[in-house]
A and B are shown apart, each in its own frame.
Chain A
Amino acid sequence: MPLKAVILIGGPQKGTRFRPLSFEVPKPLFPVAGVPMVQHHIEACAKVPGMKEILLMGFYQPHEALSRFLVSAQQEFKIPIRYLQEYAALGTGGGIYHFRDQILSGGAEAFFVLNADVCSEFPLQEMLEFRQQHGDAHSFVILGTTANRTQALNYGCIVANADTQEVQHYVEKPSTFVSEIINCGIYLFTPDIFQHIGEVFQRNQQELVLEESSNGWQRAEVIRLEQDVFTALAGSGKLYVYKTDGFWSQIKSAGSAIYASRLYLNQYSKSHPERLAQNKPGGPVIRGNVYIHPTASIDSTAVLGPNVSIGEGVTVGAGVRVRESIVLHGASLHDHTCVLNTIVGWDSTIGRWARVEGTPSDPNPNDPYAKIDSETLFRDGRLTPSITILGCSVTIPAEVVILNSIVLPHKELSRSYKNQIIL
């Protein structure tokens, strides 16, 4: 069966909780477990038999990093990958409606839509099989997972028939408890979906004509898949939920990128152990799951892991300790530095014996359904302790401590900092 996949990558106004990292690279290209965030989506889509084309959809201006990524991903996964640019932010449903011809070209009988800012096992094949078993070849499937009662309120909540898994009720981010089954932002649609989105579009248009709005056409095309489409489809017999127990998380904040890296590295240990660094004579000490780019230079007395990703061309000196961190390309960690729960930005330098440490925002380990809180930066006017982020080309002097801080790009620090945003 000919299939396609659309990855919703948003645009520059999105991903502000990802600053200052999203200044340098669009959030969908931020490396998680050593590769750009959306490469995990692409790899999963490319594996599905019948996948003809993968479309990245967003409202970024075309730029070099994105084009380079598309070229290399096409080569690696041997599948056509294109970027479709929305003329404005059209919402999660507006873009796919606008580009429906492109999606259906080549005779696609079904297609996946994936939010870029999630990390998942992407059980796409299972979603296809689930739809097969539920008889109706024209139904739509939402990937769902279980959250705890309080955190469920931050997601799209799904009430489904216990036997058939048909969605009876859908509410996006309710204010009171509705269900602990939440929307994972991964969908399987047939071309029929465009009828339903089309209805929303028509309705929007009529309403806007009545309002005599000058740019009614444009605003009619802004459609939210969740609020505008799923809510209406609930109870119509066309929308199903496939529940997964596999790993899943949103990647909204930089802190969740470290958590997502951990989930993907853990997946590598089962599916692609060759991607993980091994302890070998003359090499650094590896604890747990660690990704090291082949061009990185690591001293044999360094101790890395668990959950460490070391990027291209990174230098790690003697006696360096890194744990629960992402070190981006070109960074340099001098001798005896200690880096914990931190994202070290591109080309940043950490002087010897410096300690750069953040506070992890991991989900409650005692609750199997807990999700990571994409906390706001400030609570009660104070910076909430979070992972430490060094923007691009930051210089940390020797022997200082940087704790729970966010350092904006191109900053040369001269002392210790704690719980601060350093502009």
Chain B
Amino acid sequence: MRALILVGGFGTRLRPLTLSRPKPLVEFCNKALLLHQLEALRQAGVSHVVLAVSYMSEALGAAMREQEQRLGIRISLSHEKEPLGTGRVRAAGSGRGRGRAQAGRRRPGDTGVGTGAAGPLALARDLLAEGGEPFFVLNSDVICEFPFAALARFHRQHGGEGSLVVTRVEEPAKYGVVVSEADTGRICRFVEKPRVFVSNKINAGLYIFSPGILQRIQLRPTSIEKEIFPAMAQEGQLYAMELQGFWMDIGQPKDFLTGMCMYLQALRAQHPEKLHSGPGVVGNVLVLCPPVPTLAKWRGLYRELWLPSRPWCSPSSFQDPSAKIGANCVIGPNVTIGAGVVVEDGVRIKRCTVLKGARIRSHSWLESCIVGWSCSVGQWVRMENVTVLGEDVIVNDELYLNGANVLPHKSIAESVPEPRIIM
């Protein structure tokens, strides 16, 4: 089977992290976001994944080649280089050494072909139609326990043209909701921001389509949700499958952290052995890597979770990927700590993602933060309220950061008592 991942543009909502990495390569719970999706797709029998991107990066190309080898699947890029209409399909298949991913021209401010745009579907038409079988389409910002196998089964059973995954929300009025038949799942209609209750299910951004759908889509900017889906629903060709378990759009830092909490909770239920435990660890904590007995073993583990020879992967952290946590720390609940991270003595961390190579110096206190790659957070620093540090940010000792959004390579010498962006 094949799958199209709607990667889109510059991931501006997840800045400052996406100023250093393409969004699919930002680690979510110690694993690049893209890998969460690729691994789930492969498990469901997908052998060819197309990434729909509106800009190119060397790093993404390299990561794709790496994953092709690691997962034994083919990964292609569908690159919307020119505005739709004049552009043509640019499928840079990089499998088996054929061709190279092309570095496209960046168009600043282009958030591109993200969720809902049917354009990428049209662009990748040839690649997707080739197999003659149903293919998956997914939004790259979504995290959940991907139900691809079940979705394929569901799709085959009802025999319609498309299936989408829906998830329940508490406050449907904030979203567009999906109204479907209770027994069959057939979708009757979509209601944008309903003012009275009609449904509590929203589009989760995961689809499977039969190739026939490609006929519906023209090579022009088209909203799949606003134009294609309503038509399909009217013809009774679109079905909804309800998602079990958690779901989160992690496209922005606040939701990224919420999604992290949900993911760790699911991990607790399914793979508790992957979570960290020990003195000073509270609740669900994921540390890369907890002490691994032999060199060979950690090498293996490292290869599995990390992409060696990545441009951003420094040799030193490759040599010792295990994070170090000092004495008298209290870590958790809901913390992920990346490779090579050093947490010094007496640190308190809760509800945070600490990315690879960062250092948190002693006696600091962190809550609801994302600490970027190779950052250094000084002693007695307090950071909270969705403070996000871009790559290689230095926070001087004894500062207080409240909701600071700090661009990469910045050195901070003054407290940020109220939320703001530090250029």
**Does B363 contact A399, Cβ atoms closer than 8 Å?**
no
14 pairs of residues in contact across A and B, judged by CB atoms under 8 Å: A301-B346, A319-B362, A321-B380, A321-B398, A336-B346, A338-B380, A338-B382, A353-B348, A355-B365, A355-B400, A399-B365, A399-B367, A401-B384, A403-B417
Find the residue from A320, A338, A399 having the highest chain B CB count within 10 A: A338
Known: A318-B346, A338-B380. A353 touches B365 (CB 8 A): yes
Known: A335-B328, A336-B348, A338-B380. A319 touches B400 (CB 8 A): no
Known: A319-B345, A321-B398. A336 touches B382 (CB 8 A): no
Q: Please, what's the 1-or-0 string for B263-282, where 1 marks a CB less than 8 Å from any CB in chain A?
A: 00000000000000000000
Q: Please, which residue of chain A has its CB at the minimum distance from the CB of B367?
A: A399
Name the one of A319, A357, A399, A403 contacting B328, with C-beta atoms under 8 angstroms: A319
| Residues B356-381 near A (CB distance < 8 A) | 362-363, 365, 367, 379-380
B412 to chain A, nearest CB (A): 16
Q: How many residues of chain B are within 8 Å of chain A by beta carbon?
A: 15
Q: Please, what's the 1-or-0 string for A320-337, where 1 marks a CB less than 8 Å from any CB in chain B?
A: 110100000000000110
Q: What separation, in Å, do the CA atoms of A338 and B363 have in the docked complex? A: 9
Verify if A82 is at the interface (C-beta below 8 Å from B).
no
Contacts of A286 in B (CB 8 A): none
| Residues A135-149 near B (CB distance < 8 A) | none
Verify if A224 is at the interface (C-beta below 8 Å from B).
no
Verify if A340 is at the interface (C-beta below 8 Å from B).
yes
| Residues B17-31 near A (CB distance < 8 A) | none
Q: What separation, in Å, do the CA atoms of A355 and B400 have in the docked complex? A: 9
Name the one of A319, A340, A401, A418 contacting B363, with C-beta atoms under 8 angstroms: A319
Interface residues, chain B, with chain A CB atoms under 8 Å away: 328, 345-346, 348, 362-363, 365, 367, 379-380, 382, 384, 398, 400, 417
A sample of 15 more A-B contacts (CB under 8 A), given A321-B380, A355-B382, A418-B417, is: A319-B345, A319-B346, A320-B363, A321-B379, A335-B328, A335-B346, A336-B348, A336-B363, A338-B363, A338-B398, A353-B365, A357-B400, A399-B365, A399-B367, A401-B382
Contacts of A399 in B (CB 8 A): 348, 365, 367
Q: What separation, in Å, do the CA atoms of A258 and B17 have in the docked complex? A: 41
Q: What separation, in Å, do the CA atoms of A318 and B346 have in the docked complex? A: 9
Contacts of B346 in A (CB 8 A): 301, 318-319, 335-336
A216 to chain B, nearest CB (A): 55
Known: A336-B348, A355-B382. A403 touches B362 (CB 8 A): no
Contacts of A340 in B (CB 8 A): 398
Known: A335-B328, A336-B363. A323 touches B348 (CB 8 A): no
B398 to chain A, nearest CB (A): 6
A306 to chain B, nearest CB (A): 12
* A-B complex: 6 closest residue pairs judged by Cβ atoms: A319-B346, A338-B380, A319-B363, A321-B380, A336-B363, A353-B365
Q: What separation, in Å, do the CA atoms of A301 and B365 have in the docked complex? A: 17
Q: Please, which residue of chain A has its CB at the minimum distance from the CB of B365?
A: A353
A405 to chain B, nearest CB (A): 12
A396 to chain B, nearest CB (A): 13
